[in-house]
Amino acid sequence: MMNKKNKKLLLLSLVVVACFLPEDRASADTLRVAGLPTGNITQFPAAKAPDRIPANSKVPGFYPVRPPAEGKMKTMNQQFIMVFTKEETAREMSSGRGFSGFDNGMDECFSDRAVDVDIDQEGGAAEWSPSLQPVIQLSPHFESAEQRRAALRNAPSDVTPVHRERFVIENGEAKLETVDAWVDPATMGVRLIGRASLALKKVGEAPGDLTIYAAQERTHVQLVVRRHAPDDDKPVDPSDFTNARAIARSRQMPLMVHTPSGVTEGSQCGFVRVTLHAEKGVGEMARVESAAVNVFPAEEQPKKKESVLGSLIGNGNAAQDLTMPEVRVRPISINLSSTWLTHDAEPVLSISMGWAGRDRKM
């Protein structure tokens, strides 16, 4: 959290960045928080975990499986479980076939740890980490089958709280659904803790098919940076293999967040949620970093001039094929800030963005 002395410096720095970077490198916008929709996000549970959860207790969207042990894992009494967002993916893993990937599940992800965005009454972290994963792994505190049987009777609880976030677009309206549940890695039982829903408003776009959404939640502004899914409104021609592959790769690139507390988190999901305080006399800033993936059709590629030295050392241009599309990636940085200065009637949300480096061929 930023003190009053530094909050003006924060806002000034954003203005300076927006004014002095070239137009093709950066852009900046400000908007009033009062115009954003309101809703809720589930918080890290303060209640004590249950001792055990029956194996027949289930919650939709939480599908735990114990993958079959292979190779060395057979002699190590493998006990960990994996939790998936989709039942069919969990079945694939349980059967030993592995799983086909997360192309259809990048908008549904888990977190299993807390961060100190806010502090609860007991002095502990009360907010879920923005580090999201399409699948998580949980392990009980025992190693052998005998210990597992004993744990089911009287050992300390290994039940773990798990947080699920799902980005949804329905009838053109975006929202973020959150569900928390207790997961027992010994029995694979799941018990609901709570649910919440947060309506989102689109507030900006960035290169690389990135869209920025925002909403009010308690004394916070919740921002969601999401990588545009190809099936939203831009269908991909199945015969266009290169373009489809580039979009799939871009969806798998992590979204890194430099939080106001100085901690760096990373989301392996198709989106990341950033929490900023929106209170009188408070200013906070976070930065999201990722990469934009672009596909240049063969007919749009300029022929590159090759130097003699480049041909000798092999810099990639010598093998240029003007009959194939070219896929290039470029890092991008998005700055998000919330400030409430003395003369402001309400918090002000600022968004600026720009390229963070040169593009390169994938």
CA–CA separation, 39 vs 43, rounded Å?
13
Torsion of the alpha carbons at 161, 167, 173 and 178, rounded to the nearest 10:
0
Q: Which backbone phi and psi does 255 adopt, to 5 degrees?
A: -105, 110
- Whole-number Cα distances in Å, 177 to 87, 103, 172, 270: 18, 19, 16, 14
Q: What is the DSSP letter of 96?
A: T
Nearest to residue 176, comparing CAs of 199, 145, 155?
199
CA–CA separation, 89 vs 158, rounded Å?
24
Q: pLDDT confidence of 352, banded at 50, 70, 90?
A: very high
Q: What is the DSSP letter of 113?
A: -
pLDDT in tens, 309-347: 555 555 544 455 566 677 788 999 999 999 998 888 889
Tokens found for residue 133 = 């994963």
Within 10 angstroms of residue 183's Cβ, the number of other Cβ atoms is 25
Whole-number percent of the chain with pLDDT over 70: 66
More confident residue, 360 or 351: 351
Contact 183, 190 (CB under 8 A): yes
Tokens found for residue 223 = 């921002």
More confident residue, 69 or 307: 69
The CA radius of gyration of the chain, in Å to the nearest whole number, is 23
Contact 165, 172 (CB under 8 A): no
**SS3 label, residue 353:** strand
**The pLDDT value given to residue 18:** 36
The structural domain count of the chain equals 1
More confident residue, 6 or 146: 146
pLDDT above 80: residue 150: no
pLDDT in tens, 220-268: 999 999 987 655 545 445 455 555 555 555 556 789 999 988 889 999 9
Tokens found for residue 25 = 């490198």
| Domain coverage including residue 252 | 4-361
